[in-house]
Structure 1
Amino acid sequence: MWTVYTSIKDITSKTKNWKIKMIVAEKSPKRISQRTAVKYQNLILIDKEGNRVQATMFGTDIDPRENTLKILQSYYIIDAYVKPVDPKYKIGEYQYQWTLNSKTIIEEVPQNEEQIDAPKYEIIPFKDLEAYRGSIGEIDILAVAIKIKPTKEITTASGPTTIQEIYVIDESLNPICLTMWGRFVQDECQKISDIIEDKPIILGTKISVGSYNGLSLSSRPSSTFIINPLLPEAAAMKRWAENNDLIIRSIIARSLTYPSAPLSSVGIREIVKNCDIAGLIKGLQPMAKAKFWIKAKVNVIDITQVFYYMSCIGCNKGTGYKYNESFVCMYCKNQGVCKPRARAYVELDDNTGKLAATMFGEVAEQALGCSAVELMERAGEENPPYVKRIADKLSKKIWKIQVYADPEKLKEKKYRQFNVLSIEAVQDEENAGSSC
């Protein structure tokens, strides 16, 4: 029989047969120790009184609990291994740390039983960040991630390291650059990158406020990040982001479509050559994705292609419903109206190589110079002169083009196209000279 405790202060390395209700406040990604090459995962657990303890799982004890110990859920922890904590790693008054091994019993607290309240975060809205600029204090933020830039290798006083910049926004509608350092790039940034198009909600704790390119944010070694946390504040921010989707898209298009430059110098873009892109993609880390700027002509190779598809107006997913027909989307689950969405399969040619690419939505409409409805009504095999005029006009200009690459999909025969994220006319062919 276990003795049930309510406070971790009553549990020491000499306590036997104990049981306590805890909530998972933080859970790091799985990591590899640089010194021992052993896989580990850290958690912060909080008891009913608000006391915190760091718990760690190692090696083969991690994966069997992949679908348990979820953040902000309550569990009974029974007989973890307890040992004194190194003072420099102590996160509160508690003098011990726990190891959750194969002998530790972990039970989810039943829904009909009292749960432990989620920890309180002192979230600072972006409009109040100026007061923390350059201070030694660390703050908590809750924001929408709207743009992520490629990783960078830099050299600091401590040696080389990797950083990645994420642009985040809150109700102030003022995007701010959050720089992630070191281990956060491999773990949290990768997860955020995979779902960036969904505009995930990010809870960051122990964040520093700096002055890089104006007001900026930066991770610290002690920082933690929770993606889409199960908090009322996060749910409210998600609803706000959905209700202001068009405004946020406009901010991204106006200010954040230049991944190689900060907000203070958005006119600067690193143009790469098509012939170099294959090598750049090969150099990416596993599961990484990339965005590049190129300067090229856009050629429509097949003028008989269908330049649109019928889609849900809410999520842009394809559907079999007809134009203006009302339906419940099987993807976003919302009541929507079926509309055509522009799509064009093209070839990007910069004289060093050719890339097969796909343009969607507003980007395709901008390049082709007509709306999706016009494409539905006039393009295709039935009207080749109309399509030819569009294709000829498109190919007579030089364009600055941002392309997106998913190396894993490029390996598949079915998906050997790049996606065009943005496009901007530079000059007509007759004035192009040696621009390509």
Structure 2
Amino acid sequence: MEKLLSIKEIVPDMQDWSCKVIVQEKQQITQSLSTPTKKQKLIFVDTEGSKVEGIIFNHDISRVGPILQVYKKYKITNAVVRPIDSKYQTAELTMQWILTSKTVIEEDADDEDIMPVKFNYTQFTDLAQYVDRKDKSVDVLGIVIEAQDRRVINKHFKESVVQKSVLVNEQSQAVMLSMWDDFIKNEGQHIIAEIGNYPVVICRKLKVNNYNGVALSTWFDSAILVDPPVQEARELKNWAIRNTKLLAAIIDEKSYIKYNPQISAKPDQKTILISNVRPSQKNIWVKARFSFQHIFQKYWYMSCKKCCRGTAAADGVIFMCNTCKEKHPAQPRCHFDMDLCDDTGAITASVFGEQAEKLLKFTALEIMDHFKQNIELPLEAIHKELESKWFLIHIKPVQAQMSDAKQRYTVIYYSKLLNSDAVDSPAESKNAESKNPTLLIELQSDTADIVTSGATAIQETKPASKARQCLTQKLELLADQANNTSRSVSEGSKKKSRLM
């Protein structure tokens, strides 16, 4: 006669046993990189709150997988029991049940209203410490208030589909969640169907990325529970129903697409010296001054209104963007290079959009008008003001190397520091690197860093002024000089290799 046991009582090699469990989560089907073996993992929980991992292999996935539905209760009999490999065990999961077509699985109609399970959620304000950590994942609880359109992209030389959603917590903080491939077809469909009812999700084993400071992404072993019968989820759903106007305002303002220092920056944010910045670092904070008066540049480029990538289209012209694959008007966007300097050195970084406009105190449209009218931007006061100011700056390395082989960085966020917060005894003299005329040429190819989307160029009917032609020629000359320098270095290395 079968024994109805709890999860804790079931051990390897046990015969004639049964256990009533709830399916807490069901992962996507995955395949090993080294073998053709396919597998699907589940997590079961019993009335005592104990958990065990279920696993289905290969052909049994199509036979057994559809039977087991998330949040349903089942009586499982005589599955093969084995310990999980010690390096993959957790405090909650030490045993594994292998489910095959021979395993007896019966649905139990006596479903409980609330799953007897507790999760350890990571607060949104604590996500920054896990950015780009391959060895760490996070569990979060949130309300999905908006889901964006799906996009097809090439990832690791393979075509993938991604869909971004907006998660909000009870503190009205928002973070972007990217769901990939099978998650879109499964949990994503469920979320879209319930989007008007503020679906609550428990997302497990997510990766934290450095996008707009902090963003979340599914991983191969992630799990997303939609409207789970868990007490915390029920409470958050009720909060959402009581605060529909607040959530609607978040959607209208679209504040979630901007950098949120409340989530990404800490009051006691740790920084490193400029001399210690390395391209291999993904999440970099520094205290530095801004300097760009020695850099000859344009300060704007024409961009796609949606994806901000460069285009040859004229201002206001609606064109098909080759990057986001949609039709949008072209508009000017502020962009320029600057040196980030402290007492130990300087690095070059690019700043874009509103943050760039805030530094220059000009909008992109005003900058473009100055350029077209051949009026130099009055930046003397700005340069003088920046000499004595220190900033807390969040930067990330640019993946694509430029023709001059000099590593570039992008400013994600900056904030002005009070004098007491700045580094001790800032150097009075400017860094010698910033004065080096050779460095001046190396820094000028910022426009080459802008990816151009396809569009029909609109010829201007008004001829350009001589001064403006001169400005354009200087920009082109500096870019050519950088390319020639790179080419000379390359040819020199080839000759050297022949001689050797």
TM-score by length of 2: 0.45
Encode CA deviations 1:197-236: one digit per residue, 9 max, x unaligned.
4331110112343432123223333321101111121112
Letter paired with 1:80: A
Q: Distance in 2 between matches of 1:130 and 1:264?
A: 12
Conserved? CA contact 1:27–1:44, under 8 Å: yes
1:159-308 to structure 2, matched below 5 A, reads: 161-181=160-180, 183-255=182-254, 262-264=257-259, 268-269=305-306
Find out whether 1:111 has 2:110 as its counterpart.
yes
Letter paired with 1:53: E
Q: Distance in 2 between matches of 1:228 and 1:10?
A: 30
Measure how far apart 1:137 and its partner are.
3.9
> What residue in structure 2 maps to residue 286 of structure 1?
none
Letter paired with 1:263: K
SS at match of 1:241: helix
In percent, how many aligned pairs have the same letter? 26
Higher Cα radius of gyration: 2
Greater shift in the superposed pair: 32-41 or 198-207: 32-41
Conserved? CA contact 1:72–1:118, under 8 Å: no
Encode CA deviations 1:42-65: one digit per residue, 9 max, x unaligned.
311134462422232764775677
> What residue in structure 1 maps to residue 414 of structure 2?
none
Q: Distance in 2 between matches of 1:41 and 1:274?
A: 46
> What residue in structure 2 maps to residue 421 of structure 1?
none
Measure how far apart 1:26 and its partner are.
0.9
1:29-178 to structure 2, matched below 5 A, reads: 29=28, 41-47=40-46, 48=48, 50-56=50-56, 59=59, 62=62, 66=66, 69-82=68-81, 90=89, 97-109=96-108, 111=110, 118-130=116-128, 132=130, 137-149=136-148, 150-156=150-156, 161-178=160-177
1:373-384 to structure 2, matched below 5 A, reads: none
Greater shift in the superposed pair: 39-48 or 20-29: 39-48
Conserved? CA contact 1:201–1:227, under 8 Å: yes
Encode CA deviations 1:262-282: one digit per residue, 9 max, x unaligned.
4359994159999989xx9xx
Conserved? CA contact 1:109–1:115, under 8 Å: no
Normalized per residue, the structure richer in strand is 1
Conserved? CA contact 1:207–1:217, under 8 Å: yes
**Unpaired runs of 5+ in structure 1?**
281-289, 296-432
TM-score by length of 1: 0.51
Q: Distance in 1 between matches of 2:68 and 2:197?
A: 25
Q: Distance in 2 between matches of 1:235 and 1:51?
A: 22
Question: Structure 1 140/90 Cα, relative in aligned 2: closer, same or farther at 3 Å?
Answer: same
Q: Distance in 2 between matches of 1:65 and 1:182?
A: 19
Letter paired with 2:258: L
> What residue in structure 2 maps to residue 18 of structure 1?
17
Measure how far apart 1:24 and its partner are.
1.7
SS at match of 2:234: helix
Number of residue pairs the alignment of both structures matches: 280
Conserved? CA contact 1:53–1:91, under 8 Å: no
**Unpaired runs of 5+ in structure 2?**
261-302, 330-459, 461-500
Q: Distance in 2 between matches of 1:89 and 1:140?
A: 18
Q: Distance in 2 between matches of 1:37 and 1:166?
A: 33
Conserved? CA contact 1:2–1:18, under 8 Å: yes
Q: Once superposed, what is the RMSD of the aligned Cα atoms?
A: 4.5
Conserved? CA contact 2:28–2:220, under 8 Å: no
Q: Distance in 2 between matches of 1:116 and 1:245?
A: 25
Q: Distance in 2 between matches of 1:206 and 1:132?
A: 12
Q: Distance in 1 between matches of 2:49 and 2:252?
A: 47
Measure how far apart 1:160 and its partner are.
6.0
Measure how far apart 1:2 and its partner are.
1.1
Q: Distance in 1 between matches of 2:51 and 2:114?
A: 12
Encode CA deviations 1:280-326: one digit per residue, 9 max, x unaligned.
9xxxxxxxxx996656xxxxxxxxxxxxxxxxxxxxxxxxxxxxxxx
> What residue in structure 2 maps to residue 27 of structure 1?
26
